[in-house]
């Protein structure tokens, strides 16, 4: 396409999406897609500078204001930030900063979390809160004073004086504080749950469900822009401050860190995970750490913000037309994208559970290309009202299975029809799918269903169960189609000649798989218990049962009330175990495993002294002498527990390199002792904290 035409097209598309996102909080595309459009336009404008215009979206900040709220002119413009999408772009920014300062100048960087919320400005005159405004287009925002006043953590009045270092100083005559209004994840989940409950009533009454909030950012922006401030008050919004705007009569501050400390002394909430570092390498480590630990926080972040700490150096570096040269936003890989929902189908699990899933136009999200995503159950499909042909928001957070969050209703095709849950199983038996009264799951109740059979074999061979390397989903499907495996026990009678009939198998790979199958016969009893696939019985309860009874036969013959006394088991799991072993088909399966030579009585015992009996020890970060599994095993071998989170019951937290910041913060707030690796070894040996 001709550059002139493409630039005009991009500007039109971006202007529309900019208003939908910044002004109306009703985006039709994900942030990553918007960023890609902006960056394409930037590249074209760099290549064709004669086509650059002051009104181009690349030169603008935020969005337009809406007439619902009175306009507020910012005395000091609220600029945006340039973005770094990867480490190379971060390093390029660092080089520009160094070139903009005197050669050899020492540079300190202030690293902050990029809160996924709505930028606002709070104005205080003589210590009194007088006005709050959104960023708007950077020059003019919206007056949201009444709504911001309902946010509990926003001070309504400031103390007359505060301590700055060792000096007591008066509050500035005018103090403009800038920060991010956001919706905590817990508050967001409550909003979603409330809307879903309301939609259940609407569906039951024959009415269409209303849109469910898609993410905390959009829900928070909508909450702040309520006409009725009492509605905002009930939403649970929060606020972090990160900058000052106009200041009249303020203290002489020389660094950004000093500024944040001053704001904290005034009573403003300042994020505890801000870090000042001396090199760009440390900046990169900060970004990597938080990209890996972003889900440990009680709020959403979509990146990190890096700022030159020295205010004098900031003055030298200055601004471009839309952003400061002394700061940059490092964007993390997107976890939400929009794509087309091609179809909705149903998969059958090992217990017969029928789970609807979305067949998607492939989209790169959360670090991988996604073409399918879960829709959970029949109720969720109805409540979200997603339909084949919809443009949908897809979310993949970390290693979590991708899910369809909801539809973009403004882009729904006119002919999109509601999807109805099928009444028969997709397998060749076409058995009836059943949903019992009071349950959310629909199930295939035909025991011979081939889909259930295949999933049971896959689960049996998985890493958390019998850990049979090479027996993955593709191989199981081949074995099933060839009639070589009707239940997990059949894998123990496989031969090389049989495997050679399968596509992709040579003699070496066949022998290697049989070797792995043979090795699984001596897996510890907890693994075998897990592999059986008994409903509600997970690895922790399996370990406790194995430690208590020692053999599978002893567990099979134990009464419900005896099983229920085991720590972590209880009545529900006990009944599920007894019910499973009461079925003849399951007893036949256990007998097949016994005949194959599977050891039902191998319990790994430890001769280590029980120095940590009853104590919970959390490990975070990288240790030199232990990986995560061996550290947790060392704790458990000594009678301790190794939970994944810090609580008031935690005895100690072991801190390695690059620890999870939220765990460190929680330990500090609760006064839980923190140990280095040497202290950890002392704890393992003695059960006591080092002096």
What residues are annotated to the active site? 114
CA distance 428 to 441: 21
CB 313 within 8 A of CB 105: yes
Facing residues of 406 across strands?
393
Distances (CA, A) of 82 to 271, 304, 681: 22, 12, 46
Facing residues of 180 across strands?
119, 240
CA distance 446 to 27: 44
Give me 55's structure tokens. Answer: 């009104």
CA distance 410 to 16: 13
CB 672 within 8 A of CB 653: yes
Closest CA to 332 of 91, 496, 538, 86: 86
Largest CA distance in the chain: 87
CB 444 within 8 A of CB 427: yes
Q: For CA atoms 55, 59, 65, 71, give the dihedral sign.
A: negative
Q: What are phi and psi of 24, to 5 degrees?
A: -100, -10
Cα angle, residue 135 at apex, residues 131 and 139 outer, rounded to 5° = 95
Give me 267's structure tokens. Answer: 């009573």
CA distance 468 to 518: 9
Closest CA to 111 of 259, 292, 263, 309: 309
Give me 605's structure tokens. Answer: 């015992």
CA distance 61 to 82: 11
User: Can you give 368-437 as a three-state secondary structure string?
Assistant: EEEEEEECCCHHHHHHHCCCCCCEEEEECCCCCCCEEEEECHHHCCCCCCCCCCCCECCCCCCCEEECCC
CA distance 577 to 535: 8
Counted residue by residue, the chain has a size of: 691
Give me 241's structure tokens. Answer: 């401050």
Q: For CA atoms 19, 25, 28, 33, give the dihedral sign.
A: positive
| DSSP assignment of 551-579 | SHHHHHH--HHHHHTSTTTHHHHHHHHHH
Helix/strand number for the chain, H first, E second = 24, 23
CB atoms under 10 Å from CB of 95, counted, come to 10
């Amino acid at each position: 396409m001709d550059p002139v035409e493409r630039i005009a097209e991009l500007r039109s598309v971006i202007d529309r999406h900019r208003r939908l996102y910044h002004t109306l909080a009703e985006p039709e595309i994900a942030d990553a897609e918007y960023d890609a459009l902006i960056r394409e336009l930037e590249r074209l404008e760099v290549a064709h500078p004669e086509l650059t215009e002051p009104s181009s979206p690349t030169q603008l900040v935020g969005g337009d204001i809406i007439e619902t709220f009175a306009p507020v002119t910012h005395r000091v413009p609220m600029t945006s930030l340039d973005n770094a999408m990867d480490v190379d772009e971060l390093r390029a920014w660092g080089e520009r900063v160094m070139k903009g300062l005197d050669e050899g100048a020492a540079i300190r960087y202030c690293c902050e979390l990029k809160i996924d919320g709505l930028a606002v400005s709070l104005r205080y005159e003589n210590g009194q809160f007088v006005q709050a405004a959104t960023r708007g287009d950077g020059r003019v925002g919206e007056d949201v004073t009444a709504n911001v006043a309902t946010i509990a953590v926003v001070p309504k009045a400031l103390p007359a004086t505060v301590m700055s270092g060792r000096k007591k100083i008066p509050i500035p005559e005018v103090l403009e504080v800038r920060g991010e209004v956001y919706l905590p994840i817990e508050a967001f989940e409550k909003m979603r749950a409330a809307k879903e409950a309301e939609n259940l009533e609407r569906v039951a009454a024959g009415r269409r469900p209303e849109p469910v909030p898609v993410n905390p950012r959009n829900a928070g922006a909508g909450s702040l822009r309520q006409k009725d401030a009492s509605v905002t008050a009930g939403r649970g919004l929060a606020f972090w401050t990160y900058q000052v705007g106009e200041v009249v009569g303020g203290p002489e501050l020389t660094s950004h860190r000093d500024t944040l400390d001053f704001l904290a002394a005034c009573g403003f909430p300042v994020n505890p995970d801000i870090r000042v570092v001396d090199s760009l390498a440390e900046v990169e480590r900060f970004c990597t750490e938080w990209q890996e630990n972003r889900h440990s926080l009680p709020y959403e972040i979509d990146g990190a913000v890096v700022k030159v700490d020295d205010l004098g150096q900031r003055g030298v570096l200055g601004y471009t037309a839309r952003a400061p040269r002394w700061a940059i936003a490092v964007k993390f890989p997107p976890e939400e994208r929009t794509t087309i929902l091609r179809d909705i189908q149903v998969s059958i699990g090992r217990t017969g559970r029928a789970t609807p899933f979305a067949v998607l136009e492939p989209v790169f999200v959360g670090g991988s290309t996604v073409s399918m995503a879960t829709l959970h159950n029949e109720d969720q499909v109805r409540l979200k009202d997603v339909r084949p042909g919809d443009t949908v928001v897809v979310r993949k957070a970390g290693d979590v299975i991708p899910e369809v969050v909801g539809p973009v209703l403004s882009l729904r095709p006119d002919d999109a029809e509601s999807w109805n849950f099928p009444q028969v199983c997709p397998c060749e038996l076409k058995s009836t799918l059943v949903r019992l009264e009071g349950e959310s799951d629909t199930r295939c109740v035909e025991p011979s269903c081939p889909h259930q059979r295949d999933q049971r074999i896959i689960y049996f061979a998985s890493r958390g169960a019998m850990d049979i390397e090479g027996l993955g989903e593709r191989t199981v499907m081949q074995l099933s189609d060839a009639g070589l495996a009707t239940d997990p026990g059949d894998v123990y009678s496989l031969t090389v000649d049989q495997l050679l009939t399968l596509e992709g198998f040579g003699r070496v790979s066949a022998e290697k798989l049989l070797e792995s199958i043979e090795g699984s016969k001596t897996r510890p009893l907890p693994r075998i218990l897990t592999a059986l696939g008994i409903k509600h019985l997970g690895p922790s309860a399996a370990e406790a049962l194995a430690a208590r009874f020692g053999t599978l036969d002893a567990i099979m013959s134990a009464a419900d009330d005896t099983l229920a006394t085991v720590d972590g088991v209880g009545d529900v799991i006990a009944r599920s175990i007894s019910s499973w072993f009461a079925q003849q088909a399951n007893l036949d399966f256990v007998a097949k495993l016994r005949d194959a030579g599977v050891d039902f009585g191998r319990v790994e015992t430890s001769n280590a002294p029980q120095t940590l009996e009853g104590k919970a020890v959390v490990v975070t970060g990288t240790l030199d002498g232990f990986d995560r599994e061996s550290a947790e095993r060392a704790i458990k071998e000594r009678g301790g527990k190794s939970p994944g989170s810090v609580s008031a019951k935690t005895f100690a937290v072991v801190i390695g390199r690059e620890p999870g910041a939220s765990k460190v913060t929680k330990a500090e707030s609760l006064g839980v002792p923190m140990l280095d690796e040497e202290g950890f070894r002392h704890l393992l040996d003695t059960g006591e904290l080092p002096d």
